Structure 1
Amino acid sequence: MTKFTFKYPIAFGACLVLMQACTLQKTASPALTEKPKVQCIWGSDKFDICRYDSKEAIINALIAEMTVDEKIGQMTQSVWHNSVSPEIIQDRKIGSIIHTEGPTPGPKVSDWVAKFNTFQAHALKTRLGIPLLIGVDAIHGQNTFEGAVIFPHNIGMGATRNYDLIRRAAEITAIETAGTGFNWTFSPVIAMPEHEHWGRVYEGFSEDANVTTKALIASIQGHQGTDLAQAYTIAATAKHYLGDGATVGGREGGNAIISEKALRERFLPPYQAAVNHGISAIMVGFNSVNGTNMHQNTYLVQDVLKGQLGFDGVVITDWLGGTRWGEPHTVINAGIDIAMQPANHDEFMAKLKETVLDGTVSMERIDDAVRRILGLKFDLGLFNDPFAKKELSALVGSTQHREVARQAVRESLVLLKSEANALPLKANESIAVVGEHANNSGLQSGGWTMHWQGQTHSYANSTTILDGIQAFAPEVQYQPMGCTSDTQAEKVVAVVGELPYAEFKGDSTNLALTVAQQEMIKHCKALGKKVIVVLISGRAMTVTDTINQSDAFIAAWLPGSEGMGIADFLFAANGFEPVGKLPTSWPKEYADLPLAQDAENALFPFGFGLSKF
């Protein structure tokens, strides 16, 4: 007999309820060939144990016992800091919470663990004691906690083509996410961006389906391991289903026009791979496909994803997705299982209940959603041990984890140009560093770093690019505003790029450097310096003139917290040679956009990257 155990006394009440439910013929699930064997044992003062024949038996027993309110609560996700107390979670029987932009539990890991354990404890005080899913957008490390390791954004990870490294980065992200109190991350993004205008290009691994699929598989393996119930694993979420990177004009939440042929040959294979490799959840996108929003797209969610692709995990909305595009019943009937309603969970729950009671939403659809949600909670081991993994807390931001991120940075850099012995740098050379991006970990990390839209100042326990360069060459001269007549250095490292942004606010038709940055590089070159440009960006930019003016040019993407990795590259530390390859095509000029692997018009085609300095 498989044993499922509740380790905490509060679960004993649920066990008694279930024993009664399972022994009564009228409440036993007709899907079972025999009634589940349930035994409740009062153990020591620490443990109460329930034993069941199978996961399916306990889930069926729970569903048979649950009220409509309890089921809808499981289908609702709120945000812990939006006037939502642990008592409200308990009273409304809400099944999951998230942490996102807003106040944090505190500056220390222990603050986060204590906060989310309090919410979990109140969930266990409900009639059935069903534990919470606790989610976060940990998309390049546990990027909401100041002190965690921040990896390069996915566009940089895709540039490495090192799938073992991508898996290891996901493992570390899972450890640091679990160590701060979470059991679920809303990543990886597996969009295949087709427009550099899109403000989320950097969240995708590549415009190429093959690279995206390999990186996706590695990410799932890293986050979820071989057993979700292990302490160091968390549930992963593939997003955003479907076509989020292919909207007309690269507009966030826009319309993607996708033929049935393209759907089958380009867009579905990565999601089929996600299903085949056991992804726990899939999030639908803000966008529409052929005019139908994904939150209401019954064909693509219910028929294709759950039916044809065989996905048996949880489908979740994006932000406010249960009410944003219509009434809740239209979203749930389309096949969505959990609605992320951080500001209006009461509205969502009340409206959904009305449509369940009047038959607009069938109980069969509700039970299907709840069965998937409870299944994920069982797979995560939450019915056995729902609380934060304190044993992992000490590993958050550890030196070992930072070394892996440092490796990821140096392997993610793509050398687009290298002439006139500009690289590698030598410690005894006369070197100057210019540009404000050089000494600011917020600027070098981009959006989804400490804050939703990122930040323009450094954060704790990070290493800037300047820090890294000075570790190799302590006498380096730093001039944030550019070269002057007093600049004595023969070589200048110009670190330039975009300001941080994320979804919606990152959509842009301006993909050029600022005039000030362009003039800074021109001036340094006019003074006779060898200029090495390090571009910090979330996408390929229209910088052909700047590339032509430089002696070496590096696409550094958004490297995260470990600026030492860029210094490793510049100084060819330990004999390092460039390995990064473009994950997207690189445009000659703005008029050529969108490129999407159009090698004929690209300045640098997809996959380009020099392997020698």
Structure 2
Amino acid sequence: MTTENTESIIEEKIDSLLGMMTLDEKIGQMTQVRHFDDISEEDIAGKFIGSVIHTQGPLPGNNAQEWQAKFKHLQELALSTRLGIPLVFGVDAVHGQNTYEGATIFPHNIGMGAAGNAELVEKAARITAIETQATGFNWVFSPCIAIPYNEKWGRVYEAFSESTELTEELTKASIMGHQGNDLKSKRSVMATAKHYVGDGATDFGVEGGETTLDAEEVEKRLLPPYRVAVENGVGSVMASFNSLKGIPMHAHKTLITHILKGTMQFDGIVVSDWKGYSRFGENDVINAGVDMIMAVEGDFDMYQEGLKGGVESGEVSMERIDDAVRRILRQKFRLNVFENPFPNSSLIPEIGIKAHRDVARQAVRESLVLLKNEGNMLPLDKNLSRIVVVGEHANSSGLQSGGWTINWQGTKENYKGATTILEGIQQMAKGEVIYDSDANGNHYDADVAIIVVGETPYAESFGDIGGEMDLYQITLTEAHQKYIEAYASKGIKTVIVLVSGRPLVVTKQIEQSDAFVAAWLLGSEGHGVGEVLFGDYNFKGKLPHSWPKSEEDYNGKYGPNFWDDSITPLFPIGFGLNY
């Protein structure tokens, strides 16, 4: 049967279902809830829920079998309804199935952008799809295809690069990896291009802030990755928290309905972000073209009642409701959940397997960017008699992985299945390796000090610099600067490894070092760092962002980006040394 025939049959099935559905059933399909707190289990059938999301909060169970069992039970409730329309299950699997401890965790997108290897991005997404399906999900809220303009934004690491062209290339690879050639496969998941549009280009890098770019710049710089996503069949697009010229993106009918659904001919689901209905204008959001609402944290009843009232009053047309439900049903048919609604338990043994971790370790190796290598300090000799490894980031898989790892805001602790940077160095070195967590060990007889410093995990607005939370800075902390000073001032050969979700102002620390490596947020396979430091592999990574030289680079709305000729960066985008 041809694709055209298949799609024609799907549309006929949708027409039949729509003709039988009540308004309540349609609004139910347009509703996404958590499997905890927002609803009672009876609401799944009683309110005709269309989708369930798992996020920060109670886990579905203690292991993948229990996760699958929980979602199977919820699916059975949905199938018990008059029309038996199945649920789809969504999760923020943004660098592996990062909500499940024991899964393979890849470098965040900024690291994948540094690697610049589309084939590798596709492999990582394919593995993420398998491990996500193994834990009971068929929809991921990934990839983030923002174009970050200011490193003070707390989500820089979720995006591939400030380069629109590189982002286009890796967007295609990510979608192909997640969705495969056939969404019906139980080894594929529906991908989500996010956040539409302008999330990374807000003034001063404020999460959910105002994007003041004109229409021409939006068209040239921000929309191209979405065109690529649509052309490659992305199943869903998530609306953004930001406003564009004063209009919240969730309520931006021109960009959602006219451009995305009209000009680009996107036929999938436009899903809101967190509490999108209550935050951005209620029924204005539906009228703008958002099809499914995350009705979470108290929004559930007010959303369903508000939308029903809007239809009954004529504020929202039935045509708009039917368009939304048609799109949701279309993707459910494409995912084959009507025929095959339950998770595949045969995939569970593939979670975190060596073959998957090998790909993640390759991604770590290829993402590392060498910024300095004075006197060919690197690669290190494996036979050095004494190596001191400094800094808590060296000995914590949580710290090396960043936000969206096990927890929404990440973790500072080690997590199951991961290898730390320190463990990787210990495996590579034949001499003595000493660990000095806070640089107070005075190991000045070492042949070399490998000092691992960086940011602590954060996600979303919590990571904004100078924003509402203002918990972070564009420089290293005073404590981490002292780690470097402690050894560099004694004349010890010093290799600095920076673990961060963005370029930081580290000009002085680069000067103090003999070698300096940008390692980004590398995920579960810390061993990859040692493999490159000791020369088993060469450096391949290139900067996906231009690198700032001073804090003054951020005096304007934007950082030292490639398109702003008024600022000369310390290193240009694309810079990266090798052996």
The alignment's TM-score, normalised by the length of structure 2, stands at 0.95
Structure 1 Cα separation of the partners of residues 22 and 99 of structure 2 = 35
Segments of structure 1 that go 5 or more residues without pairing to the other structure are 4-50
Match of 1:186 among 129, 141, 152: 141
Q: What is aligned with 2:517?
A: 554
Match of 2:293 among 326, 339, 354: 339
Q: What is aligned with 1:584?
A: 545
User: CA 1:73 to 1:167, structure 2 compared with 1: closer, same or farther past 3 Å?
Assistant: same
Aligned residue pair count = 563
Q: What is aligned with 2:225?
A: 270
Structure 2 Cα separation of the partners of residues 102 and 488 of structure 1 = 48
Q: State whether residues 483 and 524 of structure 1, in contact with CA within 8 Å, keep that contact through their aligned partners in structure 2.
A: no
Task: Please state whether the residue corresponding to 1:587 is helix, strand or coil.
Answer: coil
Superimposed CA distance per residue, residues 83-125 of structure 1 (whole angstroms, 9 cap, x where no aligned partner): 5343221111110010000111222111111111111111100
**Superposed displacement of residue 188, structure 1:** 0.2
Q: What is aligned with 1:445?
A: 401
**Superposed displacement of residue 425, structure 1:** 1.4
Superimposed CA distance per residue, residues 413-446 of structure 1 (whole angstroms, 9 cap, x where no aligned partner): 0000001332111221021100000000110000
| 1:67 maps onto 2:30 in alignment | no
Q: Which contiguous aligned blocks of 4+ residues in structure 1 show a shift greater than 2 angstroms? A: 83-87, 483-488
Q: What is aligned with 1:515?
A: 478
Q: What is aligned with 2:560?
A: 595
Q: What is aligned with 1:607?
A: 574
Q: Letter of the aligned partner of 2:416 in structure 1?
A: A
Q: Letter of the aligned partner of 2:447 in structure 1?
A: E
Task: Please state whether the residue corresponding to 2:53 is helix, strand or coil.
Answer: strand
Greater shift after overlay, 467-476 or 282-291?
467-476
Q: Which has the higher contact order (CA 8 A, sep 6+)?
A: 2
Q: State whether residues 388 and 443 of structure 2, in contact with CA within 8 Å, keep that contact through their aligned partners in structure 1.
A: no
| 1:330 maps onto 2:284 in alignment | yes
Output aligned runs, 1:135-534, within 5 Å.
Answer: 135-327=90-282, 329-343=283-297, 344-429=299-384, 430-473=386-429, 475-482=432-439, 484-509=441-466, 510-534=473-497
Q: Letter of the aligned partner of 1:587 in structure 2?
A: P
Task: Please state whether the residue corresponding to 2:190 is helix, strand or coil.
Answer: coil
**Percent of paired sites with the same residue:** 53
Structure 2 Cα separation of the partners of residues 484 and 210 of structure 1 = 47
Q: Letter of the aligned partner of 1:605 in structure 2?
A: P
Structure 2 Cα separation of the partners of residues 136 and 261 of structure 1 = 34
Structure 2 Cα separation of the partners of residues 231 and 206 of structure 1 = 31
Q: Letter of the aligned partner of 1:199 in structure 2?
A: G
Structure 2 Cα separation of the partners of residues 214 and 247 of structure 1 = 23
Structure 2 Cα separation of the partners of residues 368 and 52 of structure 1 = 16
Q: State whether residues 93 and 132 of structure 2, in contact with CA within 8 Å, keep that contact through their aligned partners in structure 1.
A: yes
Q: State whether residues 202 and 209 of structure 2, in contact with CA within 8 Å, keep that contact through their aligned partners in structure 1.
A: yes
Structure 1 Cα separation of the partners of residues 139 and 330 of structure 2 = 14
Output aligned runs, 1:17-96, within 5 Å.
Answer: 54-96=9-51
Task: Please state whether the residue corresponding to 1:476 is helix, strand or coil.
Answer: strand
**Superposed displacement of residue 138, structure 1:** 0.1
Superimposed CA distance per residue, residues 546-594 of structure 1 (whole angstroms, 9 cap, x where no aligned partner): 0000000000000000001111111111xx1111000001000010121
Structure 1 Cα separation of the partners of residues 27 and 161 of structure 2 = 37
Task: Please state whether the residue corresponding to 1:322 is helix, strand or coil.
Answer: helix
Q: State whether residues 112 and 363 of structure 2, in contact with CA within 8 Å, keep that contact through their aligned partners in structure 1.
A: yes
Task: Please state whether the residue corresponding to 1:330 is helix, strand or coil.
Answer: helix
Structure 1 Cα separation of the partners of residues 76 and 61 of structure 2 = 19
Q: Letter of the aligned partner of 2:462 in structure 1?
A: K
The alignment's TM-score, normalised by the length of structure 1, stands at 0.90
Superimposed CA distance per residue, residues 197-236 of structure 1 (whole angstroms, 9 cap, x where no aligned partner): 0000000000000000000000000000011001100000
Q: State whether residues 38 and 300 of structure 2, in contact with CA within 8 Å, keep that contact through their aligned partners in structure 1.
A: no
Q: What is aligned with 1:43?
A: none
Task: Please state whether the residue corresponding to 2:331 is helix, strand or coil.
Answer: helix
Task: Please state whether the residue corresponding to 1:602 is helix, strand or coil.
Answer: coil
**Superposed displacement of residue 368, structure 1:** 0.5
Q: What is aligned with 1:7?
A: none
Structure 1 Cα separation of the partners of residues 425 and 76 of structure 2 = 48
Structure 1 Cα separation of the partners of residues 177 and 552 of structure 2 = 40
**Superposed displacement of residue 483, structure 1:** 5.4
